[in-house]
Chain A
């Protein structure tokens, strides 16, 4: 039944963990659509045949009874609301990445996709992912709005300049799937296509090993995006105000910051995640961590999205070490190499 409907509706294969349940909802809506058209068509045809005009004589005045109108409204509304409830539930699943998802940093630009893995490898237009493991894409654009769309996974997310958007999926079968830019982005929009290659976990591990970390490899020893992040942070002078060993400074330490909630000067708190870190670089004064001064300059336009990703990854790599309480408090500036 699933296969027959999928074929009939020309839907791509269902190759992500969420694709099948979304298609089921799709079927229910399409079947209801055809049922609706059929009921209307049947009613009109019957009426046309039965009540075709024979003369211009008066017709009886008929007013829809209230209960019938209420029934139509109530029936259809409950159907629509049911779809909304189910659809929104699925939407929440699509929008909320699992905690153990493997991060990959995506930079979109006219007209190509660039992917960077925390352990170092990078690629253009081909995203390699393991089967059976959630993958979380942290995406940013260098120029205009793009949209990351993999039909076989039933996922799509706009990639917006100046902010980080995320998208996650779990591929369910090895294979090569089309990646398309679906938000109009200029002259060669329709050529901004790529592929998602899903490999079995073993193949993926081998691929990852074999992929020589290129320019993302750090100079100061160690490979990977986090090492690159350390370099970028040094270049941009981040360590003038931030430490990575838990030491106090002008700004909050990066050690153990990721994944925790941080109180804000304005009251309330914020979860330190990719979005917050990116926002803090682009718009530092929007959410000031409690106990710190609003002194950080913006790096909007001064730092490449790929480098932003590297810094985010550096901070993420420092997540597992919990800082002690006194280390959170700011003191005199300490210059770190």
Chain B
């Protein structure tokens, strides 16, 4: 316990407050891009409609299930720690990492397919059949999902670190605030996707 706290519980509560503040800051990062997407969607409704036709709904939806499941497994890891089951914690974290990696791999497949079809961002866009403004959809698609994928990757590293700590018995049923904060971060990554999925794949 650090000396500025009068109890370990207080220190843990403060860590949680700090994590929530960090998450609110993170969500504003995405909010800025989402606002930009909304503004351009209002300017180019038909172009965005036409561009969204080319979104890979199947892969996007599979990824949604993958990520939602990973949130569940992270929650299970936390629940296992609370019951003092160290092995289960490690296993659930590893499953979550695997799901996160699956998400990234599917994302890369999706990117490769789009790039192959000429739906590249910005000045590299070559799909001239699409109406004016469609390129903005794809640029924002790459920025939003790219930033999100970056967060997924960071989340995987966090989960890996937690798995190593968990294996060494760093988390007890009474004291596991680091695990809790890591799980919160993973849930944010998941939550952001819950916004991106309908916005980029389903909204027509």
Contacts and interface: CB of A to CB of B under 8 A. Distances in A.
Chains A and B share a contact (CB less than 8 Å) = yes
Interface of A: 266, 282-286, 288, 294, 297-298, 300
Contact of B133 (A266, A285, A288): A285
A300 B136 CA distance: 14
Contacts of B43: 283, 286
A286 B131 CA distance: 10
B46 A283 contact: no
Contacts of A285: 44, 46-47, 131-133
A284 B47 CA distance: 10
Contact of A300 (B44, B46, B132): B132
Nearest to A266: B45
Interface of B: 43-47, 131-133
Contacts of A283: 43-44, 132-133
Contacts of A266: 45
Contacts of B46: 285-286, 288, 294
A66 B43 CA distance: 48
12 contacts: A266-B45, A282-B132, A283-B43, A285-B44, A285-B46, A285-B47, A285-B132, A286-B44, A294-B46, A294-B131, A298-B131, A300-B132
A183 to B, nearest CB: 21
A265 to B, nearest CB: 9
A289 to B, nearest CB: 13
Which 8 A-B pairs have CB atoms at the shortest separation, nearest pair first? A298-B132, A285-B46, A285-B131, A283-B132, A294-B46, A285-B47, A300-B132, A286-B43
A302 to B, nearest CB: 11
B40 to A, nearest CB: 11
Contacts of A286: 43-46, 133
B46 to A, nearest CB: 5
Interface centre among A282, A286, A294, by most chain B C-beta atoms within 10 angstroms, is A286
A276 to B, nearest CB: 14
Contacts of B131: 285, 294, 298
A29 B15 CA distance: 50
Contacts of B47: 285
Contacts of B45: 266, 286
A283 B131 CA distance: 9
A297 B47 CA distance: 12
B133 to A, nearest CB: 7
Nearest to A283: B132
B131 to A, nearest CB: 5
B190 to A, nearest CB: 35
A317 to B, nearest CB: 27
Contacts of B133: 283, 285-286
A273 B108 CA distance: 46
A266 B43 CA distance: 13
Contacts of A282: 132
B42 to A, nearest CB: 10
A294 B50 CA distance: 12
A285 B50 CA distance: 11
Given A286-B45, A294-B46, 17 more contacts: A266-B45, A282-B132, A283-B43, A283-B44, A283-B132, A283-B133, A284-B132, A285-B44, A285-B47, A285-B131, A285-B132, A286-B46, A286-B133, A288-B46, A294-B131, A297-B132, A298-B131
